[in-house]
Structure 1
């Protein structure tokens, strides 16, 4: 049974589908990829990164946060937060991972010029069994957090290790970026707040759309536009889910100044 923030998803064919990977024939065709991104709102790039590099960073993270007791069942949450926000997030290992050639060079090719990586980058560590409203990322689209810059910013969601569907990866509301863009242009959005709702099944019914899910593997990367509605599932697996969210854009486009400090969960964004 798939849930998000405790809400049970409708797993019928009308409300649940599969995220479609970019076919091999299109992987090196920039025009085809842009057409796909405009149509679908996302690019699911299987094997974009070296799995060894992904597993290596996951192991580094595990070692780094171990002194907090996170793996022993006696976690000191204050110590964990100290390590995460003072050591891991601003550390050179995380910076190198997010700007590795497999990511940096792909964006330079795809965007056709000099790129800019936002300094505010997020790491999500979701433990098995965590549930309830506020646990999983609620349905939203990224532009509501990035109003001070260009709407052409692109997000990369990277699972830091294998992430089968029950482990609570990202899910996308099929085709809803078209509706969001129309509402943005018309100024008719009902909820211009940061998140739309925690009620994923209700949102799917409202839009008559499917939530798209995938069994992600280490090395996969999903790129999505600032208008693409997405959320996370609850982790009902037996292992923790680790992932990162990073954002690239053309360096010449306006940059949201609020995103140029290291991420902290009290930064107000």
Structure 2
């Protein structure tokens, strides 16, 4: 994977991020010495609000699912034909009109409930790891989201806007943990996830004080403005296949725009685990659909 030049301008929903050192930084990976230390991971999670775990999964695990995903979208117009090229990475965007009805059937009736997706979400390096970290029986929320982002799409609503997960999960515990998995290499140019440094502490404080009664909606698409408001940095990195980020329900995060010069789509999934003994948001116990109201 070729990495972007650090000086490349980054955008989200058409807004250009401020690249000054006090507004833009790098995600801090968990060092090897802490990867098997549960106490160290919890201290880091409480301090930073996230755990960036490079190479947590075997790259082939996510690459296999990427190939399955885009093979299922053959004929929708989303991907170039053939959707699984003899050379190069699957998931190059198609140039024609998209058959929206066929896309929805393939995604929600075939991919989301598929055994291939279930195997990915319950992989031992995911489910077993959460059971170890939480030191308890764990519950995987059935509502799991898969996103593909075509390059060249800009403007409000094309990239995931700034939000924190708790606003969508208020009927259960606030200690639910999300894991974001890039399904394939995801350099910054392909629209990876970015985190607002330290934002979980302010969100937790204001939630506890009852000052954040946000509806289930994003905060803003204006990432540079939000960084100014929080006097904080957006943290970015070039993700490789196999990297994951585990984050709390309180940290603010968003996605960059996909500007991949080769036309490769970003593909990712975000799923959520918690202790089975804690309150579970009943609304998240059905397969994800784009019309499920959440």
TM-score range, shorter chain: over 0.9
CA distance in 2, matches of 1:231, 1:70: 23
Deviation string, structure 1 residues 79-109 (Cα, Å, up to 9, x no partner)? 1111001100011110111101110110010
Structure 1 residues not aligned, in runs of 5+: none
Identify the range of structure 1 (67-76 vs 35-44) with the bigger mean alpha-carbon deviation. Answer: 67-76
Identify the range of structure 1 (193-202 vs 85-94) with the bigger mean alpha-carbon deviation. Answer: 193-202
CA distance in 2, matches of 1:244, 1:192: 23
Equivalence for 1:245: 270
Q: Which runs of structure 1 show a deviation greater than 3 angstroms over 4 or more consecutive aligned residues?
A: 190-193
CA distance in 2, matches of 1:189, 1:159: 30
Identify the range of structure 1 (185-194 vs 64-73) with the bigger mean alpha-carbon deviation. Answer: 185-194
CA distance in 1, matches of 2:155, 2:108: 24
What RMSD, in angstroms, separates the aligned Cα atoms of the two structures? 1.0
Helix, strand or coil for the counterpart of 2:151? coil
C-alpha deviation, 1:76, in angstroms:
1.2
CA distance in 1, matches of 2:127, 2:39: 19
Q: How many positions carry a matched residue from both structures? A: 269
CA distance in 1, matches of 2:194, 2:110: 29
| TM-score normalized with structure 1 length | 0.98
| TM-score normalized with structure 2 length | 0.90
Equivalence for 2:57: 49
Whether the 8 Å CA contact 2:168–2:216 is kept in 1: the answer is no
The match for 2:44 among 23, 36, 40 is 36
CA distance in 2, matches of 1:193, 1:80: 26
Structure 2 residues not aligned, in runs of 5+: 1-8, 81-94
1:101-140 equivalences under 5 Å are: 101-140=124-163
Structure (1/2) with the larger helix percentage? 1
Deviation string, structure 1 residues 156-202 (Cα, Å, up to 9, x no partner)? 00000000011101000000100000100111237555211110000
CA distance in 1, matches of 2:53, 2:133: 13
Equivalence for 1:63: 71
